[in-house]
Chains A and B, each alone.
Chain A
Amino acid sequence: MRRSDDDQAGSTMMVWIRAHGFTACVLLFVGLFCLGPVLWQAVTSLKPDQDLVRLPPLIPERVTSVHYDRVLLQSSLPRSLANSMVVAASATVTAIVVGAFCAFALARLPIAGKSVILGVALVTSMFPPIAVISPLYLLMREFGLRDTLVAVGLTHAVYSLPLAVWLLTSFFQQLPKELYQAARIDGCTPVQALLTIMLPLARPGLAVAALLVFIYSWNEFMFALTLTASDTTRTAPVAVALFPGLYEIPWGDLAAASLVVTLPVAGLALAFQRHIIAGLTAGSVKG
Chain B
Amino acid sequence: MTDRSFTEIKKRSGTIHLSERAWGYLFACPAFILVSLIALAPINAALWLSLRQQLPIFGIDEFVGARNYLQLLGDERFWAACRTTLYFTALSVSAELLLGFGFALLLNRLSDGAGRGLRWAHVMIILPWAIPTVVSAQIWAWLYQPDFGLLNYLLYAAGMTGGRIDWLADPDWAIHAAVVMDVWKTTPFAALLLLAGLKTVPQELYAAARVDGAGTWEQFRRITLPLLMPVVLIVLVFRTMDAIRVFDAVFVLTGGGPGNSTETLSIYAYKTLFQTLQFGYGSALATAMFVLAAVLSLLYLLLLRRHVQESG
Chain A residues in the interface with B (C-beta under 8 A) = 20, 22-23, 26-27, 29-31, 33-35, 37-38, 40-41, 44, 52-56, 94, 98-99, 101-102, 104-106, 109-112, 117, 120-121, 124, 126-136, 138-139, 154-155, 157-159, 161, 165, 181, 184-187, 189-190, 194, 215, 218-219, 221-222, 226, 236-238, 240-241, 243, 251, 254-255, 258, 261-262, 265-266, 268-270, 273-274, 276-277, 280-281, 284-285, 287
Of B38, B184, B188, B279, the residue contacting A158 (CB under 8 A) is: B38
User: 7 pairs across A/B with beta carbons < 8 Å?
Assistant: A26-B109, A40-B142, A106-B28, A109-B24, A222-B247, A285-B200, A287-B234
Q: Chain B, 49-80, contact with A by CB distance < 8 Å: what is the 0/1 string?
A: 10000000000000000000000000000000
Contact A185:B138 (CB < 8 A) given known A109-B27, A262-B132: no
Per-position binary interface string of chain B over residues 171-212, scored 1 when its CB falls under 8 Å from any chain A CB and 0 otherwise:
000000000000010011100110011011000000000000
CB distance from B19 to the nearest CB of A (A): 8
Q: A126-B297, A222-B248, A251-B142 are in contact. Are A184 and B107 (CB under 8 A)?
A: no
Instruction: State which of B42, B124, B187 has its C-beta within 8 Å of the C-beta of A136.
Output: B42
B interface secondary structure, majority: helix
Which residue in chain A gives the minimum CB-CB distance to B249?
Answer: A221
Whole-angstrom distance between the Cβ of B136 and the nearest chain A Cβ: 8
Binding stretch for chain A, among B29-37, B159-167, B216-224: B29-37
Q: Which residue of B lies closest to A35 (CB)?
A: B124
The answer on a CB contact under 8 Å between A124 and B184 is no
| Pairwise interchain contact A23-B110, C-beta atoms closer than 8 A | yes
Check if B27 sits within 8 Å of A158, measured CB to CB: no
Residues on B with beta carbons closer than 8 Å to the beta carbon of A251? 142, 145
B153 near A55 with CB under 8 A, answer yes
- Would you call B299 an interface residue if the criterion is a C-beta within 8 Å of the partner chain's C-beta atoms? no
- How distant is B148 from chain A, measured CB to nearest CB, in Å? 5
> Which of A22, A52, A222 lies in contact with B148, CB distance below 8 A?
A52
Would you call B126 and A270 a contact (CB within 8 A)? Answer: yes
Which residues from A are CB-within-8-Å of B129?
269
Q: Which 7 A-B pairs have the closest CB atoms?
A: A109-B24, A131-B286, A135-B45, A269-B130, A102-B31, A111-B24, A105-B27
Q: Smallest CB-CB separation from A138: which chain B residue? A: B45
Q: Is the CB of B42 within 8 A of A285?
A: no
Q: Which of A129, A258, A277 contacts B139 (CB 8 A)?
A: A258
Partner of A44, one of B124, B142, B230, B235: B142
Q: A53-B148, A109-B21, A111-B24 are in contact. Are A135 and B41 (CB under 8 A)?
A: yes
Contacts A117-B28, A130-B247, A158-B39 given: A185-B34 contact, CB under 8 Å?
A: no
Q: Enumerate chain A residues within 8 angstroms of B82, measured Cβ to Cβ.
A: none
Residues of B within 8 A of A181 (CB): 1, 6
CB distance from A140 to the nearest CB of B (A): 9
